[in-house]
Amino acid sequence: MYNRVPHKANDREKENMIKYYYKTAKEKQMASFERFKKNSWIYVENPTMEEKDLLINQFKVDASLLQDAEDINEVPRFEIEDKTLYLFTRFAFSSGDIIDTTPMLIILTNESLITIANTRFSRLDRFISGKVDFNTLNRNLLLTKILMQINETYDSYLNNISKKLRIFSTQVQKIRNKDIIQFVNTENVLYDFNTALVRLEAIYNSMLSKKILKLSEEEKDFFEDAALASSQLIQITRESLRTMVNIREAYSTIMTNNLNRVIKLFTSLTVILTLPTIIGTFYGMNVRLPLSDNPLAFYYIVGITTVFSLVTIYIFVRNDWL
């Protein structure tokens, strides 16, 4: 399982966190430049004030929307300003045992595609290594490829959570208190995933239905694939939540049943031991009682109390009270 806590932006090294990537359809590897080149992918990670000024002044990024991108609670949505698409999305990431989602702003202009995030987008490595086929000249297609990789960040964590839940579902009786705490944290993660994915799916469908972008058939197919993938991830998320509820209810039922059995056992023992106690109490009185002068009185009393106890046990067992 995973713990979920509010995250902070990664510590930065003293390096330029605005990177310019360029790749044509003929090139196998993505090239990186120190300065902007038309039709580049501009990757921005945890920008400084100087870098924000550069984005606002040189690339005409809307300052208020750029500020919204820094809000860790920003929800997926899109806006169009001066024929520029601003798409707010969220991707999943982890740091050690901590798993969370973080916002990413994708800006689609006539000359470039800009991605801005406070946390490193780990799936960038797949673009750099050539595992994802793309070119920066086709910005619409690059946008859909990035969205597909964002979906993949959720998929990897959801698969791990599903596997762990299957293990827990077969070992409900072995669940410990720390497992319950992990359940609560994981449930929060799943609710966070569900909220982000539902909004992402709505964005994809809205952009397709309203024809926000002029998409070719290939680009439209990729966009529809991204929407379908989001729908499937939502289904997996909700199934995981239902599984967690079922496991929790099963665990609660087992614990309640065990408690009832213990209470029933101790109640039965109390009744069974009450009979010898009553007889022993009578013979502890300083009065004349039957068998008080008999040298074998002790053995008679023990025998009688044993018989009464055995009869009581038999009655309890027969009626399933014990």
Number of domains in the chain: 2
Look up the CATH number of the domain holding residue 307. 1.20.58.340
Q: Mark which of 87, 118, 136 sits at the end of a domain.
A: 136
Mean pLDDT per 10-residue section of the chain, whose length is 322 residues = 44 63 86 88 92 92 92 91 91 86 93 92 86 89 91 91 84 76 86 92 85 82 89 94 87 83 84 81 73 76 84 81 70
121-159 core/surface letters (b: 16 or more CB in 10 A; e: else): bebbeebeeeebebbbebbbbbbbbbbbbbbbbbeebbe
Q: Which domain holds residue 289?
A: 259-318
Look up the CATH number of the domain holding residue 59. 3.30.460.20
| Distances in whole angstroms, Cα of residue 63 to Cα of each of 56, 111, 307 | 6, 19, 90
CA 202, CA 197: separation in Å to the nearest integer?
A: 9
User: Per the domain annotation, does 211 fall within a domain?
Assistant: no
CB-CB contact of 65 with 125 (8 Å): no
pLDDT computed for residue 146 by the predictor:
93
| Residues 6 or more apart in contact with residue 142 via CB below 8 angstroms | 41, 113, 134, 135, 136
Q: Mark which of 136, 160, 189 sits at the end of a domain.
A: 136
